Amino acid sequence: MWMLATCRTWKLEQGHKALLCMYYLLHLLRKVGAMAKPDCIISSDGKNLTIKTESTLKTTQFSCNLGEKFEETTADGRKTQTVCNFTDSALVQHQEWDGKESTITRKLEDGKLVVECVMNNVTCTRIYEKVE
């Protein structure tokens, strides 16, 4: 059910700037990146999950099978070992690289996609609204 409800395009409503700070991007890149609000496109063919993040600055995309570890190249260029699973009605994406880790949780709340990113005890929340 969650998969069917989230397979659509989502437009960022708030929270992008905090995520950029969390990933330690250079000051200038943070300023430029904060101006671009990405769309999040979630799709599935029943087996593969694809998440595409698209803005005027950069587009990133990954596809995976739930529960299987894969190599992901993140928007900031990190090469991570990532696994995605459904837990408590949420999609949980766990990334590991260079002895570090982050967790991205996507869930539906009041018709909006709420994305919580946790890294080094810092939490960033992004809220997306449906694109009709």
We report the CATH number of the domain holding residue 44 as 2.40.128.20
Q: What is the pLDDT of residue 24?
A: 47
Find the domain containing 38 and state its range.
Answer: 2-130
Q: What is the pLDDT of residue 25?
A: 47
CA nearest to 109, candidates 130, 86, 79? 130
Residue with tokens 């437009």: 11
pLDDT of 16 over the 90 cut: no
Report residue 52's pLDDT band, with 50, 70 and 90 as the boundaries. very high
Are residues 47 and 65 in contact, defined by beta-carbon separation less than 8 angstroms? yes
Q: What is the mean pLDDT of the chain?
A: 81
Q: Specify the number of domains making up the chain.
A: 1
pLDDT of 95 over the 70 cut: yes
CA distance 95 to 125: 17
What pTM was computed for the model? 0.76
Q: Which of 9-18, 63-72, 77-86 has the lowest mean pLDDT?
A: 9-18
Q: Which of 4-13, 20-29, 97-106 has the lowest mean pLDDT?
A: 20-29
Residue with tokens 């529960």: 67
pLDDT of 72 over the 90 cut: yes
